[in-house]
Structure 1
Amino acid sequence: MTYFKFLLATALLLGFAACSPTPPPWHVVLISLDTTRADHLSCIAGPDSRAQTPALDLLASEGVLFLQAQTAAVTTLSAHSSLMTGTWPHSHGVVRNGFELNPVNQTLAETLGACGYRTRAVLGSFALDSRFGFDQGFEVFDETFDLLVGAGGADQNQRLAEHVTRAALSRVREHDQDEPLFLFAHYFDPHAPYDPPLALREAWAQQIGAAVGDPLTVERAVKAGQKLVLGPDVPAPGLAGTIRGGLSRELVEQHPGTSAVLDSQLAALYAAEVEALDAALGVLFEGLREEGLWERTIVVLTADHGETFSEHADRWNHGLWVHDTTTHVPLMIRLPAAHPQAERFRGQRISTVVSTVDVYPTLLGVLDIEVGSRVQGVDLGPLLRGEDFDRGAVFSEATQPWMGLEEAAHERGHWANSLKPHSVRKGRWKYIRAPYLKLEQLFDMEADPGEQNNLFQDPALAEILADLRGELGAYQELENPLPSEFNSTQLEETRVRLEAMGYGGGAREGPR
């Protein structure tokens, strides 16, 4: 029995998605960019883009670019779990970083592995470590990190983009190209601390000045912005305080949305990090060409979430709120020229609002693999073929604050994140509800893409508001999370490592 036939038989016995009757001819590379705002890709933001991303621009020009993709959750592990399972967080069960992905979930790696693919993963950060179950379905799971927590302000073990590319190409070179490959590559550089390579720091020297993007500097920027609302005599909670205890209505509703000099410097550091990431991706793409895989490989690229700067109350954060600064992510799919659908994909720019949960079923549709019954995302194939297609509402959820809200939700018999902010996008409209603050927001994303003008109390929009409330209510009625436990082993390891380097206190929560 051949390797492929053996796996096909195994897949059918285990109830996995049905595979094509013949071995799949296309390799698949799925790339995730951590903490990468869609508006920092020049193929999306255009000539006014803060960062220039020629490698990503070229990839987008060779495939289809989704201009309004939304992530399902705004922290790394929960967002990636949705990407890899095609399900919403209140189904896969991963509340936030540090929780374990239940093995009942069927991941994309498991599905493709059962259909004959050899599966490889190369990680950029500890947030997706195998102890959290994210290695499900991968034969090789490379979680070798060379930048350890505390080094340069790192809040978790990680590795630089150039090292992720080097490891990914090493996995490609050791692979037998006669067998289909599924490679997942996770890049982490834009995540704080904002510390671009020296060459890019020098290129951005005028905008960066003497600023550094370490946690203490970020905390100082957050508190300075909070003081603009709270006044000089009220203690500012800072980033750490809001992640634990949440924002106040005052901070959310009165936030000025302006940038101080330090905010602008941090934003320049972030943009330089994105450009460094783009350079590493260019090396990856060239390496795939040199190895002869480029014209046999489907490339899917997205991000887990973005990063708010000083635009909103969730300053220099992802996780606390669901503005587009954190929910709007890049998404592009590039097919090799020989693929029968390649010409249809090439150069498309699609403005329909879609979700990262749609990646799983859309990719399986391209590969002619049947989607399993648990998948909640939508196959975007009809949209790509130019057919009339209504994607329907798209949802995102916050994963912070932590203290008290998850316990209160459980006591009420609800999903752990149910009291945290949620959003629904439908056409030009975006509705946000934050139950723990008893706060609602409504934005016209065409007239106000920066989400500065809350239209919640506009009586002319009452019907639209009622419709979006209904959509979010129906979404939340679907909650049926698989069990997931918080893995606390990371906390003790972090405490020991920090104390060994002379830092006191230690960590009490997982990395954000």
Structure 2
Amino acid sequence: MNSAPHVVLLTIDCWRYDRCGFNGYSRPTTPALDELAGESFVFDRAFATGSVTAGSFPGILAGHHSYDGSVNSRHPRSEVQGIPPGSETLASHFRTNGYRTVATVTNAHLLPSLNFDAGFDEFDNVEVGDRDDEGGDESSVGDDREREGETDSGSRGPTMGDVFQELRRRLRWEQGSASLLRNPYALPFVAYRFNQLQNWPSPPAASVIDAFTQQLDDAFESGTPVFGWTHLMDLHAPIHPAQVNEGGLVSTARFEAFRCDVERLCNVYSPGYNAMYDSVVRYIDGQIAALVAHLKERGVWENTVLVVTGDHGEALGDRGFYGHPAHYMYDELLHVPLLVRAPMGIGRRLDGPFSLGWLHELVSDVAGVPRGQFPAESGRTSHVTDEGDEDAVVVSDALDDLGHSIVTRNGAWKYWRVCDARKEWVYIDLDEENPTTWDWTEEGTAFRVDSDRTERHPLPGGVAPEALSRLADDLETTNADRPKLRVEYDSDVEDRLKQLGYQM
């Protein structure tokens, strides 16, 4: 029997660091993970490489940031990015080291045509269907190459996604001059959500975990160690009332749940929506407990590395915003939970700054395989035996046709520069009719995050260490400079993305 450990990577969309019991949250959102944390490495300062899924997963899977990643030339927004062809990925790295590699994921951004399946022997995106290429090799998509079978040029009427986009536009427009109770589009939007119950845009975690455990069971039969990845979407708006109620922290009728969702869409602070978010965290925690129980039943748990993290967080009205706008680079989006349970059962909290772009180093070290060749490197020999280096620099960025937002940070300072091509303004909330803008300043903004962890006291960028601003200078780029993928979404995929709030 092969003694190399199995590796399971479980990622959660829109998961905030501060909503977890094992990170000090007062509500009982994560009892299963709280117990697991006692025998795990828990990272107190882990940061996503980007503020949206397609900006973060190239970092998680392949050590790429937006500044050195690929963009879909058909949709040159930060929400539509991929892994550059030929990149080493966690899956290809573990496959090279003798692992069977499998994935069951959700989120319509995580497409084979954007190379998110690179290195996997089996890849199933249950939100959009199975792999759409042969074999999942890293070269499955070439630069600026159109894929067959992914275009839909036929005419069609408005889809559910089109209706959502229009209702959202009108809701927000009316919200500028009327209270929510008098907004004429509030009830039509609630009716839309009721209709959407027939075909919700994301499957529940329970069904995803069921499919993933079956996939793992089949892979275990190979007799080789297994690397498996699953991604859950339950925290991504729209939140389904069934998952809220199953979580058990709050009980809500569907009408009330959808009323709170209207508040969220209008960026009106909503205690009800925030309570629903917490309850869904508890629901997901229960599904993680079910996965662990299954691995124990299979007799493989004692030889399994489990990595649990978020691709990014979620704004919950913190500064008058909900969601995860691409250029909103506050830490409610960038600061994510990261828990790594290793077979040796050692529990330890680690406080040094850590980038999810370095996840390849961490997982390789814990699994006992050599490190691979990835673009993002920490310079550390170990992430679990050495104390975190306060001077280590973590980078996060968002890049699209509107501009390039760059965050560089160490243990004490965070430096944030918003680089707009016009040097005038940049969208923070990507609402094209009612954009929220910032004045462009070449100096940037600084936060003393060792004492101002909630970033309430911005400072002039010039007071930050010069190394941080100089690195931002070096990394600044434009969409035109990035390698291009040329991918047309089929109508179903595009409609699901629209229903999830993405402007296509």
> What SS does the aligned partner of 1:210 have?
helix
- Looking at structure 2, the residues matched to 485 and 325 of structure 1 have their Cα atoms a distance apart, in angstroms, of 30
Counterpart residue type for residue 426 of structure 1: N
Aligned to 1:67: 44
How has the CA–CA distance of structure 1 residues 207 and 397 changed in structure 2, closer, same or farther, with 3 Å as cutoff? farther
Match among 118, 122, 128 for residue 110 of structure 2? 128
Aligned to 1:186: 231
Aligned to 1:265: 272
Counterpart residue type for residue 227 of structure 2: F
Which deviates the most, 163-172 or 83-92?
83-92
- Looking at structure 1, the residues matched to 279 and 503 of structure 2 have their Cα atoms a distance apart, in angstroms, of 23
Which deviates the most, 198-207 or 304-313?
198-207
> What SS does the aligned partner of 1:212 have?
helix
Q: CA deviation at 1:442?
A: 1.5
- Looking at structure 1, the residues matched to 98 and 369 of structure 2 have their Cα atoms a distance apart, in angstroms, of 11
Contact 1:92 1:481 in 2 (8 A): no
- Looking at structure 2, the residues matched to 203 and 387 of structure 1 have their Cα atoms a distance apart, in angstroms, of 36
Contact 1:125 1:157 in 2 (8 A): no
Match among 455, 459, 471 for residue 451 of structure 1? 455
Say whether 1:212 aligns with 2:258. Answer: yes
1:154-197: CA deviation from partner (whole Å, max 9, x where unpaired): 99843211111111111122221621101101111111012242
Contact 1:362 1:380 in 2 (8 A): no
> What SS does the aligned partner of 1:194 have?
coil
Specify every segment of 5 or more residues in structure 1 that has no aligned partner in the other structure, as ranges: 1-21, 225-259, 406-418, 499-505
Specify every segment of 5 or more residues in structure 2 that has no aligned partner in the other structure, as ranges: 72-76, 130-158, 162-191, 426-439
Point out the structure with the larger helix share.
1
> What SS does the aligned partner of 2:307 have?
strand
- Looking at structure 1, the residues matched to 459 and 495 of structure 2 have their Cα atoms a distance apart, in angstroms, of 49
- Looking at structure 2, the residues matched to 198 and 71 of structure 1 have their Cα atoms a distance apart, in angstroms, of 26
Aligned to 1:199: 245
Q: CA deviation at 1:271?
A: 1.2
Q: CA deviation at 1:347?
A: 1.9
The aligned length equals 415
How has the CA–CA distance of structure 1 residues 494 and 331 changed in structure 2, closer, same or farther, with 3 Å as cutoff? closer
1:332-375: CA deviation from partner (whole Å, max 9, x where unpaired): 211113xxxx5xxx221111111001110222233343333443
Counterpart residue type for residue 144 of structure 1: V
Aligned to 1:7: none
How has the CA–CA distance of structure 1 residues 447 and 508 changed in structure 2, closer, same or farther, with 3 Å as cutoff? closer
**TM norm structure 2:** 0.73
Say whether 1:86 aligns with 2:63. Answer: yes
Structure with the larger RCO, 1 or 2 (CA within 8 Å, 6+ apart): 2
- Looking at structure 1, the residues matched to 358 and 3 of structure 2 have their Cα atoms a distance apart, in angstroms, of 21
Aligned to 2:21: 42
Counterpart residue type for residue 314 of structure 2: E
> What SS does the aligned partner of 2:350 have?
strand
> What SS does the aligned partner of 1:398 have?
strand
Q: CA deviation at 1:494?
A: 5.3
Aligned to 2:340: 333
1:32-70: CA deviation from partner (whole Å, max 9, x where unpaired): 111100111110124x2x452012212222110000100
Contact 2:104 2:212 in 1 (8 A): yes
- Looking at structure 2, the residues matched to 422 and 113 of structure 1 have their Cα atoms a distance apart, in angstroms, of 33
How has the CA–CA distance of structure 1 residues 444 and 157 changed in structure 2, closer, same or farther, with 3 Å as cutoff? same
Contact 2:59 2:357 in 1 (8 A): yes
> What SS does the aligned partner of 1:450 have?
coil
Q: CA deviation at 1:138?
A: 0.9
Q: CA deviation at 1:481?
A: 7.0
1:422-463: CA deviation from partner (whole Å, max 9, x where unpaired): 211211211111123314322122322221111227xxxx55
Q: CA deviation at 1:144?
A: 2.2
Counterpart residue type for residue 101 of structure 1: I
> What SS does the aligned partner of 2:353 have?
strand
Counterpart residue type for residue 347 of structure 2: G
Contact 2:52 2:324 in 1 (8 A): no
Q: CA deviation at 1:331?
A: 1.0
Q: CA deviation at 1:131?
A: 2.7
- Looking at structure 2, the residues matched to 480 and 99 of structure 1 have their Cα atoms a distance apart, in angstroms, of 13
How has the CA–CA distance of structure 1 residues 214 and 203 changed in structure 2, closer, same or farther, with 3 Å as cutoff? closer
> What SS does the aligned partner of 2:258 have?
coil
Say whether 1:362 aligns with 2:362. Answer: yes
How do residues 407-418 of structure 1 correspond to structure 2 at under 5 angstroms? Answer: none
**TM norm structure 1:** 0.72
- Looking at structure 2, the residues matched to 385 and 181 of structure 1 have their Cα atoms a distance apart, in angstroms, of 25
Contact 1:78 1:96 in 2 (8 A): yes
Contact 2:352 2:388 in 1 (8 A): no
1:227-268: CA deviation from partner (whole Å, max 9, x where unpaired): xxxxxxxxxxxxxxxxxxxxxxxxxxxxxxxxx4xx211111
Aligned to 1:493: 492
Contact 1:208 1:266 in 2 (8 A): no
- Looking at structure 2, the residues matched to 486 and 172 of structure 1 have their Cα atoms a distance apart, in angstroms, of 32
Aligned to 1:26: 5
Counterpart residue type for residue 46 of structure 2: A
State the Cα RMSD in Å. 3.5
Say whether 1:434 aligns with 2:440. Answer: no
Give the fraction of aligned pairs with identical amino acids, expressed as a percent: 24
Contact 1:192 1:213 in 2 (8 A): no
Aligned to 1:304: 311
> What SS does the aligned partner of 1:442 have?
strand
Aligned to 1:110: 92
